[in-house]
Homo-oligomer: A and B are copies of this chain.
Amino acid sequence: MRMWRRAIVGLVAVLLSGSAALAQIDSLPSWNEGAAKKSITDFVARVTTQGSDFVPVPERIAVFDNDGTLWTEQPIYFQAAFAFDRIRALAPNHPEWKDRQPYKGLIEGDVKAALSAGKKGLLEVLAVTHAGMTTDAYAQTVSDWTHGATHPRFKRPYIELVFQPMIELMRYLRTNDFKTFIVSGGGVEFMRVFAERVYGIPPEQVVGSSGVVKFLRAPDGRISLIKEAKLEFIDDHDGKPVGINRFIGRRPILAFGNSDGDQAMLQYTAAGSGPRFLGLVHHTDAEREYAYDRQSRVGTLDKALDEARERGWTIVDMKRDWNVVFPHERLGIQPAK
């Protein structure tokens, strides 16, 4: 028995020294050495080390915006691209769309003309593409789209246009017993289709905007959930802290966004007591991705940028701080022609 115990102690020692060696491996290889990366690793070290800044595991909640923070959002939000692609796919069954905006414009690829139909037109598109079907049927449609549709500039499936450094960051946080959540203005049922596969985030950790869903019990006893053409919750701007409270019920200690739509979430996170990490992705790389901030209609970053500078939040300069943007660069795969 003694001998066994000694063997175990010895083995444990070997395993521990092995894990110490593992700790030396860079968990964030796509991040260049610099202030942004250091602010992340310093924060994680602080909250995971016994001491006054230690945070118990259940409270290690980290929230991430999606569009522009975890994946590209230009030239239009990818969910809008999905909706427009759906309109084109459904057009053959709707001859009446040929002469009506916003359908005509979308079918002919003239988005500007489509937008002339205004907010009412866009809500109509949303209703046609996101409602009047079961939640299962909708999820299948989104799944098919993620496998088929490609981005106009990068000629790759949209789900390949996720940010490799952010995927590494979320994995690094999870390794340090954080629970990672998406908190996005995007549709919750849209994101849940791919969030687990692409980001390692399960459906129950995705918070987003939603439409009304009704429970339906057919006369034959069949059960289904039907998506209705009515918005229920907008998880953007001041809605983000509300969504965090509703879905997570615990104030995060780390929040990452990229636009003014994330400002309230960052403020709410910052307002908690104890150590906090607030981060913004600043799109500064027109060559590898896009460069935009205050003037952009998609992902406007203006007031949140001012506040981040004032309060010393971490501003990630995509061009300077990331040596890789998309996973395919890391894999050395050439973009499809």
Question: Knowing A58-B196, A268-B215 touch, does A225 contact B247 (C-beta < 8 A)?
Answer: no
**A203 neighbours in B (Cβ, 8 Å):** 248-250
A 232-255 contacts with B by CB, 8 A? 238-239, 241-242, 245-250
Contact A204 B264 (CB under 8 A): no
A 18-46 binary contact with B (CB < 8 Å = 1; else 0):
00000000000000000000000000000
Place the interface of chain A in its size category.
Answer: 35 or more
A 169-200 contacts with B by CB, 8 A? 179, 181, 188-189, 192, 196
A 41-67 binary contact with B (CB < 8 Å = 1; else 0):
000000000000000001001000000
Question: Knowing A58-B202, A213-B242, A215-B264 touch, does A192 contact B249 (C-beta < 8 A)?
Answer: yes
**A231 on interface, CB distance cutoff 8 Å:** no
Quick check: which of A7-15, A87-95, A153-161, A321-329 contacts chain B, the rest being far away?
Answer: A7-15
**A147 on interface, CB distance cutoff 8 Å:** no
How many angstroms between the C-alpha atoms of A214 and B238 in the bound complex? 8
| Minimal beta-carbon separation of A80 from chain B (angstroms) | 22
| Minimal beta-carbon separation of A270 from chain B (angstroms) | 8
How many angstroms between the C-alpha atoms of A247 and B181 in the bound complex? 12
**A300 neighbours in B (Cβ, 8 Å):** none
**A61 neighbours in B (Cβ, 8 Å):** 204
How many angstroms between the C-alpha atoms of A222 and B238 in the bound complex? 14
How many angstroms between the C-alpha atoms of A247 and B215 in the bound complex? 15
Contact A246 B204 (CB under 8 A): no
Contact A245 B135 (CB under 8 A): yes
How many angstroms between the C-alpha atoms of A213 and B222 in the bound complex? 35
How many angstroms between the C-alpha atoms of A174 and B213 in the bound complex? 29
**A284 on interface, CB distance cutoff 8 Å:** no
Q: Considering residues A224, A241, A267, A271, which has the most beta carbons from chain B within 10 angstroms of its beta carbon?
A: A241
A 296-313 binary contact with B (CB < 8 Å = 1; else 0):
000000000000000000
**A8 neighbours in B (Cβ, 8 Å):** 11
**Interface residue from B7, B11, B179, B238 paired with A215 (Cβ < 8 Å):** B238
**A222 neighbours in B (Cβ, 8 Å):** 271
Question: Knowing A242-B214, A267-B217 touch, does A204 contact B4 (C-beta < 8 A)?
Answer: no
**A210 on interface, CB distance cutoff 8 Å:** yes
How many angstroms between the C-alpha atoms of A217 and B10 in the bound complex? 57
How many angstroms between the C-alpha atoms of A241 and B291 in the bound complex? 43
Contact A223 B188 (CB under 8 A): no
**A280 neighbours in B (Cβ, 8 Å):** none
- Chain A contacts to B: CB under 8 angstroms: 4, 7-8, 10-11, 14, 58, 61, 135, 179, 181, 188-189, 192, 196, 202-206, 210, 213-215, 217, 222-225, 238-239, 241-242, 245-250, 264, 267-268, 271
A-B contact sample (9 more), CB < 8 A, given A188-B249, A203-B250? A58-B196, A135-B245, A181-B204, A189-B249, A204-B248, A204-B249, A215-B242, A215-B268, A225-B245
Task: Give the 5 A-B CB pairs with smallest separation, nearest first.
Answer: A203-B249, A215-B238, A223-B271, A192-B249, A204-B248
